[in-house]
Amino acid sequence: MTKIAILGSTGSIGTTALRVISRLKDFQITALSANGNIPLLNRQALKFKPKKIAVGQKQIEDISLIQDADIVLIAVVGFAGLKPLINAIKLKKRIALANKESLIVAGDLINRMLKKYNAGIIPVDSEHSAIRQCLEGKNIREVSNIILTASGGALRKHTVKELQKVRVADVLNHPTWKMGKKITVDSATLINKGFEVIEAHYLFGIPYEKIKVVIHPQSLVHGAVEFIDGTIIAQMGITDMAIPIQYAITHPKKFPPITKKLDLASAGKIEFLRPDMRKFPCFALAMQAARESGSMPVVLNAANEVAVKKFLDGKINFMKIPRLIETVMKRHKTVKNPDMDDIFRLDAETRRYAEEIN
């Protein structure tokens, strides 16, 4: 019996993971955690009967929560996922990682820890799951580029002028994916794709110049790898996070999906477009932070989390998100090789400063 701990069980990824696990044999939930939505957590606990339940950030960071688990699914949103990831690595757990922010802010340190403790990460993000599958059995030295696809979000067809007036409801109306509010906003600004470029860099050891991004409105191709002979291998599937979640927790075995399968004959038109950087300044800011490296991605992430919350709370308009992030990044003097103490300190300092910006 494979024991699984789900950190962030009441969010979009967590609830989908429980839907997957309820259909699989020989998998047992040993721990659940949530930062809020206690009524849903109670219902989950009654159904899956975990040995341990945690509520709030402090309890989620308690290392004893995951000691009995074979697999730890980290579905906590944002910077809050970093300490649970560190705990899972130190316990040498198999990690299904749905929290990209941990790698954004501490990718070098996390990779060193993975080697030290002989732990492993399987990404849950659909794009990185796709890239991993395309790379299986392949020689990484024969890779020319990896290609991450982006839907373009809810505002892909809006003009720059129209973006000034979009409402929160407009942004949250994603055309192809059902996700949490924060990542849906990140998808609309395209900063999520910038985060995913950084994540791919650390997951696969691919230099930034070999990581390409294309807009793919249909969201059927989740990722692709181009090899030095000019051939491209792509991974396709329907837009349901149950697929990469199931891959992450059952790998290397495969089981029938709980979702419908992709029917190529009825898939229709498939498009690939270059992103319009005039409409997506957040993507450019993410790439700037990636190039500067060091502590700049910490600042990028913290400023974005504050800006997105302000937007969702109606305190700033949509186009103020990149302006706030840029203001914070310009103020920061990069620390070249931050340690974990630096990362937590800079995250807190950046949030305080970003909160003061109107």
Radius of gyration of the chain (CA): 20
| Predicted confidence (pLDDT) per residue in 286-335, tens digit | 999 999 999 999 999 999 999 999 999 999 999 999 999 999 999 999 99
The confidence score (pLDDT) of residue 179 equals: 77
- Residue 196 vs residues 116, 127, 143, 190: alpha-carbon distances, Å: 24, 8, 18, 10
126 phi-psi bin (left φ>0, alpha ψ -120 to 50, beta other):
alpha
118 phi-psi bin (left φ>0, alpha ψ -120 to 50, beta other):
left
303 phi-psi bin (left φ>0, alpha ψ -120 to 50, beta other):
alpha
| Domains of the chain as residue ranges with CATH | 2-123 (3.40.50.720), 130-225+272-292 (no CATH)
Closest CA to 73 of 197, 236, 250, 205: 250
Q: What span, in angstroms and rounded, lies between the C-alpha atoms of 135 and 189?
A: 29
pLDDT over 70, % of the chain:
99
Q: What span, in angstroms and rounded, lies between the C-alpha atoms of 168 and 318?
A: 8
Cβ neighbours around 284 below 10 Å, total: 17
The confidence score (pLDDT) of residue 156 equals: 81
Closest CA to 95 of 253, 240, 251, 255: 251
Span of 6-15, 207-216, 275-284 with lowest mean pLDDT: 275-284
Q: What span, in angstroms and rounded, lies between the C-alpha atoms of 293 and 297?
A: 6
| Predicted confidence (pLDDT) per residue in 58-78, tens digit | 999 999 999 999 999 999 999
| Predicted confidence (pLDDT) per residue in 148-180, tens digit | 999 887 788 888 888 888 889 888 887 676 778
Q: Is the pLDDT at 345 greater than 90, yes or no? A: yes
The confidence score (pLDDT) of residue 46 equals: 98
Q: What span, in angstroms and rounded, lies between the C-alpha atoms of 311 and 167?
A: 9
Average the pLDDT over 43-51 and give the result. 98
Q: What span, in angstroms and rounded, lies between the C-alpha atoms of 180 and 157?
A: 22
The confidence score (pLDDT) of residue 164 equals: 85
Closest CA to 95 of 85, 104, 105, 83: 85
Mean confidence (pLDDT) of the chain? 95
pLDDT over 90, % of the chain:
87
- Residue 129 vs residues 94, 114, 144, 313: alpha-carbon distances, Å: 15, 18, 19, 32
pTM of the model: 0.95
For the sheet with 221-227, list strands across it.
211-215, 143-150, 221-227, 232-236
Q: Is the pLDDT at 138 greater than 80, yes or no? A: yes
The confidence score (pLDDT) of residue 356 equals: 96
Q: What span, in angstroms and rounded, lies between the C-alpha atoms of 174 and 267?
A: 19
